[in-house]
Amino acid sequence: MSGVRFAMIPLGSTDETTMALQLRPNCEYCDKDLPPDSLEARICSYECTFCADCVATKIDNVCPNCGGGFAPRPIRPTNEWRPGACVVKQPPSDKRVHLKYALDDIAAHVARLRDIPPEER
């Protein structure tokens, strides 16, 4: 065998598009703006989105919606380093999300789960 061979690697496929994080625009708790390049955005596995301050001081790493823990939200690149994969081509969500539960309900939920590590919830 001789000659140059090319590997066909699908990039920017439809599947990848549908799997992109929503990048929600605000903290569900305090409504602070969390743009795609924010270092303060935290998400749970369902992409419930809060600011770092609320995760630390209001909900103690307990998601009010699912009970899971949080991780820093990855930042989508501004520049299109790979075809179709950047914040311009796959823009953030513009749908602001707000708490679905009352504050006292959330406080009880957090109190029940805060001392259990996320991996044991």
Q: Which residues bind Zn ion (CB under 5 A)?
A: 27, 29-30, 32, 44, 46, 48, 51, 54, 63, 65-66
Query: Which of residues 32 and 109 has its CB atom nearest to Zn ion in the complex?
Result: 32
Instruction: Select 33 or 37, whichever has its Cβ closest to Zn ion.
Output: 33
The distance of closest approach from Cβ of residue 87 to Zn ion in the complex, given in angstroms and rounded to an integer, is 21
- Given the complex with Zn ion, which of 54 and 99 has the nearer CB atom? 54
* Tokens matching residue 60: 């103690």
- Rounded Cα distance between 64 and 48, Å, is 9
How many Cα atoms sit within 13 Å of 83 on the Cβ side?
A: 6
